[in-house]
Structure 1
Amino acid sequence: MMVTMAHVTRAARERRAAVALARVFELVERERVEVVDLRFTDLFGQLQHLSIPPEELDGNAFRKGVGFDGSSIRGFQEIHESDMLLVPDPETAFVDPVTEEATLALLCDVRDPVTGEWFSRDPRYVARKAEQYLVETGIAEVSYWGPEAEFFVFDSIRFQIDERSSSYVIDSEEGIWNSGLDGERPNLGYRPQFKGGYFPAPPTDSLQSLRTEVVRALRQVGIRVEAHHHEVATAGQCEIDLRYAPLVKQADQLQTYKYLIKNVARRRGKTATFMPKPLFGDNGCGMHCHQSLWQDGQPLFYDSEGYAQLSPMALHYAAGLLAHSPALLAFCAPTTNSYRRLIPGFEAPVNLVYSQRNRSAAVRVPMYFPDPVAKRLEYRCPDPTANAYLAFSAMLMAGLDGIERGLDPGAPMDVDLYELAPEELAAVRKTPGSLEEALAALEDDREFLLRGGVFTEDLLATWIATKREHDVAAVRTRPHPYEFFLYYDA
């Protein structure tokens, strides 16, 4: 009897799942688990959870799932179709390092109990389909992802809005605006200036210990970290770099990364945010996404004779990213605040070109090492408010479209794009100037996302409609405090 590759792959998956399942029950016993936390991600990237006692976790939970109300989750179901199932993935199990009680965390997929199908608007399902589509194209068997999700750690954040008032106040002991503070405590100085926070040693970098605690927690749950450091902005901007991993696994890890950072900060009496532009006049938070394709254990983006040692495949992939960037940003820069960051002058990649080593280009080719395994593309437009499952999937689909159609990215621009003459800069394509523009671009350019059923029309329609109502219209219809400064005495 002939054994097909599909059978071999399915058998391998089943063996891996059986081993993972056995490990789950071993962890429950060994770690004396008191709570099992079932976690999943809503359409817009928020981590959600449901907790059950360990005795409720049995084989049926993994086969059939655990029920929940899908109508109460953003972007999921209407009230008349609310019953949904969470199906834990045993391969994602870890003992939570920040909870007081011994807690076993499991990431879940979402299933419709009536049809028995996986739920089309479950972001993790979209990412799994993207990985499968990559294999089906025959172009590669795996894509690797290395996101650099920047964040701020503040000491205090206050904000409020109602019919007659609107305000926010950020404070950070590290903020340069506190350099003249005369209060109850001594003022010890050592604060990064605006745009002066890149790589100063402690005591100016006041968050070394906090980041190390986050790294310790990440390592405890099996997430590899390459480095951590203070970032450019004052007031506690940080970055922790994750080791590259396949698409779904990396999106899983990024959700846990954000969860651990927020909880470690809270434990230390601080607050962490991944908001792209919380501070006026200083750098915002991006999520530069390093990506590459591999086949049979070999990198496909390397060519010793190519520009920046890029293969023709890599150039076509880059062309796909650039061609579809306006639509991609509806997922990769999905908030109105994202476009406060995407402005010139703050290392923000607003120019849709590619270049080696150049941080003013939307697609950068890192040149740290000449090794083939290090060859990758860095797409610099995304920010960490993106739902990683959807953003990674959308970028992969754009790159594959570039490969399949043989798109040409044009000539690289190895110059500081911010220093170009106005007439030269005018000829360079730019990122959208607002979320509204990005959503309109997604409406006009979405066919590449629908291939292989990776994204669906209902997901795209829900995303666009919800973002227009709850983000764009909500911000556009409210007076801005700065408008009073500009216009009150008109």
Structure 2
Amino acid sequence: MADWTDQLPEAARAYIAGRKPDEVECIVPDLGGVARGKAMPAAKFAKQTQFYLPDSIFLQTITGDWAERPGGAFTEPDMVLTPDFSTAIAAPWTADVTIQVIHDAYDQKGAPVSVSPRNVLKRILGLYRAQGWTPVVAPEMEFYLVARNTDPAKPIVPPIGRSGRPAAGKQAYSMSAVDEYGKVIDDIYDFAEAMGLEIDGILQEGGAGQIEINLNHGDPVMLADEIFYFKRMIREAALRHDCFATFMAKPIEGEPGSAMHMHHSVVDAATGSNIFSGPEGEETPQFQHFIAGMQKYLPAVIALLAPYVNSYRRYVPDFAAPINLEWGRDNRTTGIRVPIADAASRRVENRLAGMDCNPYLGFAASLACGYLGLMEQLSPRAEYKGDAYLAEDELPFTLGDALDLFEECKPIQEVLGADFCGVYEAVKRMEYKEFLQVISPWEREHLLLNV
């Protein structure tokens, strides 16, 4: 029998470097992007080709409860999980030699599990592939390093830097600000190298302790896998230095939120050319259709791009988060931005998604909007050339409103899949209901004795 490590990517084999692997973590991303699965001795992993988990992991809320499957009984049938060895990657923060492997989820008849986020993204890519197109994405990840917070009743605050002072806000692009928590950054670089993850750049963002990591462009599933791995790795790097890394959309009052900006282009699979650019480098009708699809359908997928009640705290004026559906060239105040680029690299940037979204579902939702625009040959509104922060608010204000738009949009339901949409809505409505039962400090402070 061939050694299973022969199937590993080069970076994972280099990490093992002739050592005997101790453990394999067999994982599946759930609706929230949480790693679910099981760890097993590497010797046992070598002897099996699949393992089983109940499909109820996709019905689990972020609080650990389970939603009811729409139209079906809660029977928890087993899924068949098979390793995708192309995703095998080191877990360099562990004490032993550990490899992580993302598994694909199938039902017992061999069909892809429709509610698996990774399969939802693959479904969208299949729609593009049927038209002879290949989508390309490039994500930007924003997150905060914060002081350890073990009491949820207390506010989240910035970490103490090497100067002994709390991390300062309003220091975007400052190298000194990044140096304040340089040891965490060093571990992120070291871990990324051991994992074979390529970082395009790291910079200080506008919030206190807020960092942005840019990734190179590529295949949407591969990039979603990388973000999934990056989130876990960054949390581990922070814990080594007595702080937390958080990907909440709005963790600190008075500070900007954290976004996951997504750059999109579409390549003709036969020629390899960018369909957004014509023979002379001009913008094509397809470029306009893609933008128009985003303008029309993004409100219906905000529930996926902003999946928690906290997500909507990011959508406030004057906090560096667009709350409009305008588009513009090199205009960061618009929700849909066209960055400066040559014809081959012409792309559309979706600036609405929060870093708290599941990367598989974020890419799937955003690409679904562009796909519908292409298929319906929609035309966008005129380019917005001013300060779009002054434009009309066009996004839902709460998770409940976002879910209503999601439920009502039949084209989005069709391209994402009715089964997935029903399960996603059930999970998110349960989370929203749980939130509404919590009495906040603001309510106690201002209403207890005044109303």
TM, length-normalised to structure 2 = 0.89
Deviation at 1:379, TM superposition (A): 0.3
Once residues 298 and 291 of structure 1 are traced to their aligned partners in structure 2, the CA distance between those partners, rounded to angstroms, is 14
Aligned to 2:247: 274
Out of 168, 192, 197, the position equivalent to 1:192 is 168
Once residues 22 and 363 of structure 1 are traced to their aligned partners in structure 2, the CA distance between those partners, rounded to angstroms, is 36
For the residue of structure 1 that corresponds to 2:326, the secondary structure is strand
For the residue of structure 1 that corresponds to 2:372, the secondary structure is helix
For the residue of structure 2 that corresponds to 1:128, the secondary structure is helix
Deviation at 1:207, TM superposition (A): 2.2
- 1:445-469 Cα offsets, whole Å, 9 max, x none, are 1423423xxx221211111122111
Out of 8, 11, 23, the position equivalent to 1:35 is 23
Aligned to 1:4: none
Deviation at 1:18, TM superposition (A): 12
1:436 aligned onto 2:392: no
Aligned to 1:8: none
The answer to whether the Cα contact below 8 Å between 1:174 and 1:192 also exists between their aligned partners in 2 is no
Deviation at 1:172, TM superposition (A): 2.9
Out of 126, 134, 139, the position equivalent to 2:120 is 126
Aligned to 1:66: 51
The answer to whether the Cα contact below 8 Å between 1:35 and 1:51 also exists between their aligned partners in 2 is yes
Deviation at 1:209, TM superposition (A): 3.4
| Unaligned segments of structure 1, at least 5 residues | 1-16, 161-166, 176-185
- 1:423-459 Cα offsets, whole Å, 9 max, x none, are xx4xx451111111110001111423423xxx22121
Deviation at 1:29, TM superposition (A): 8.0
Aligned to 2:433: 473
For the residue of structure 2 that corresponds to 1:280, the secondary structure is coil
Once residues 297 and 359 of structure 2 are traced to their aligned partners in structure 1, the CA distance between those partners, rounded to angstroms, is 17
Deviation at 1:305, TM superposition (A): 7.4
CA 1:29–1:205 in structure 2 vs 1: closer, same or farther (change >3 Å)?
Answer: closer
Identical-residue share of aligned pairs (%): 27
Matches for 1:216-295 after TM superposition, within 5 Å: 216-234=190-208, 236-295=209-268
Aligned to 2:158: 172
The answer to whether the Cα contact below 8 Å between 1:38 and 1:105 also exists between their aligned partners in 2 is yes
Out of 92, 95, 109, the position equivalent to 2:87 is 92
For the residue of structure 2 that corresponds to 1:134, the secondary structure is helix
User: What RMSD over aligned residues (CA atoms) do the two structures have, in Å?
Assistant: 2.6
Deviation at 1:325, TM superposition (A): 1.3
Once residues 168 and 277 of structure 1 are traced to their aligned partners in structure 2, the CA distance between those partners, rounded to angstroms, is 15
CA 1:25–1:343 in structure 2 vs 1: closer, same or farther (change >3 Å)?
Answer: closer
For the residue of structure 2 that corresponds to 1:262, the secondary structure is helix
Aligned to 1:354: 327
Aligned to 2:63: none
Once residues 288 and 352 of structure 2 are traced to their aligned partners in structure 1, the CA distance between those partners, rounded to angstroms, is 18
CA 1:402–1:103 in structure 2 vs 1: closer, same or farther (change >3 Å)?
Answer: same
Once residues 374 and 96 of structure 1 are traced to their aligned partners in structure 2, the CA distance between those partners, rounded to angstroms, is 34
The residue identity in structure 1 corresponding to 2:77 is S
Aligned to 1:9: none
Once residues 247 and 404 of structure 1 are traced to their aligned partners in structure 2, the CA distance between those partners, rounded to angstroms, is 20
CA 1:260–1:18 in structure 2 vs 1: closer, same or farther (change >3 Å)?
Answer: closer
Kindly tell me the number of residue pairs found equivalent between the two proteins.
Answer: 434
For the residue of structure 2 that corresponds to 1:105, the secondary structure is strand
Once residues 211 and 204 of structure 1 are traced to their aligned partners in structure 2, the CA distance between those partners, rounded to angstroms, is 8
The answer to whether the Cα contact below 8 Å between 1:354 and 1:363 also exists between their aligned partners in 2 is yes
Deviation at 1:60, TM superposition (A): 4.3
Larger Rg: 1
CA 1:298–1:174 in structure 2 vs 1: closer, same or farther (change >3 Å)?
Answer: farther
Matches for 1:134-149 after TM superposition, within 5 Å: 134-138=128-132, 140=133, 142-149=134-141
Out of 24, 29, 33, the position equivalent to 1:45 is 33
The residue identity in structure 2 corresponding to 1:240 is I
| Unaligned segments of structure 2, at least 5 residues | 61-65
Once residues 27 and 242 of structure 1 are traced to their aligned partners in structure 2, the CA distance between those partners, rounded to angstroms, is 21
For the residue of structure 2 that corresponds to 1:355, the secondary structure is strand
